[in-house]
Copies of this chain bind each other. A is one copy, B any other.
């Protein structure tokens, strides 16, 4: 994407779009992935393309719950890997949790393609500096991040077909799941198992946003960066969480943008 100058005000947005176009050409994304991204772009535009105060509260809450979890897992789909894969590998390295490729439109080709991409991202992250403030052996921490998804040996109750499939070692036995960009049916099914479900969704009116335990109404790569910072600092505190209030705060921003 040599055509986008560094000074372009929408450079981040245009580069993200180009990454998805390239990934789609490589066969990593479902047909509807680009449409989903476009919907997100529209909501992000109305949200001012910035992480709001209420989104930061949700990010802190998600960080606290991931840190307090016994078996946390990060579940990723194609768009998440393309847009925020490296940042989520850093999060997984700091928490010490696995990442599971879990797709709504599951095909063996896309799962293995995304695992390959994550593996390359993991190598890249391992060779980069540790996040500021983090202490320990970064290469080892990153190299220890387990990538799951190939052997889907578990079914989520309440779902049918390929959409139900997941890994026992990952989502199956997790108590807290960070699952950006999740579908509504699956979010409901995960919540119904009693797990805590932390989502990232730009549409505060989506079923996913309204069903999750903690909804971060933010763009996934911005949210992942902020989440990493909170997890490394460890300042976040577990507390009662009013998710409806967080959604209302996002709706107010959209409403203000539109008048």
Cβ of B41 and Cβ of A35 under 8 Å apart?
A: yes
- Chain B's closest residue to A14 (CB) is B32
- Chain B's closest residue to A24 (CB) is B31
CB-CB under 8 A from A254, the residues of chain B are: 46, 254-255, 258
Cβ of B203 and Cβ of A42 under 8 Å apart?
A: yes
Q: A100–B255 Cα gap in the complex (Å)?
A: 38
Q: A245–B252 Cα gap in the complex (Å)?
A: 22
Whether A34 is near chain B, meaning CB under 8 Å from some CB there, is yes
Q: A203–B42 Cα gap in the complex (Å)?
A: 8
Q: A203–B257 Cα gap in the complex (Å)?
A: 12
Q: A35–B24 Cα gap in the complex (Å)?
A: 12
List residues of A (243-259) whose CB comes within 8 Å of B's CBs: 251-252, 254-256, 258-259
Total copies of the chain: 2
Whether A36 is near chain B, meaning CB under 8 Å from some CB there, is yes
CB-CB under 8 A from A45, the residues of chain B are: 39, 203, 205
List residues of A (30-81) whose CB comes within 8 Å of B's CBs: 31-32, 34-43, 45-46
A21-B31 contact, Cβ under 8 Å, with A251-B258, A255-B259: yes
Whether A17 is near chain B, meaning CB under 8 Å from some CB there, is yes
Q: A41–B24 Cα gap in the complex (Å)?
A: 20
CB-CB under 8 A from A17, the residues of chain B are: 32, 35
CB-CB under 8 A from A259, the residues of chain B are: 251-252, 255
Partner of A39, one of B24, B42, B251, B258: B42
CB-CB under 8 A from A21, the residues of chain B are: 31-32
Interface string of A20-34 (1 = CB under 8 A from B): 110010000001101
Cβ of A35 and Cβ of B32 under 8 Å apart?
A: no
CB-CB under 8 A from A255, the residues of chain B are: 254-256, 258-259
CB-CB under 8 A from A24, the residues of chain B are: 31
Closest approach, in angstroms, between the C-beta of A200 and any C-beta of chain B?
16
A42-B38 contact, Cβ under 8 Å, with A251-B258, A255-B259, A258-B251: yes
- Chain B's closest residue to A36 (CB) is B38
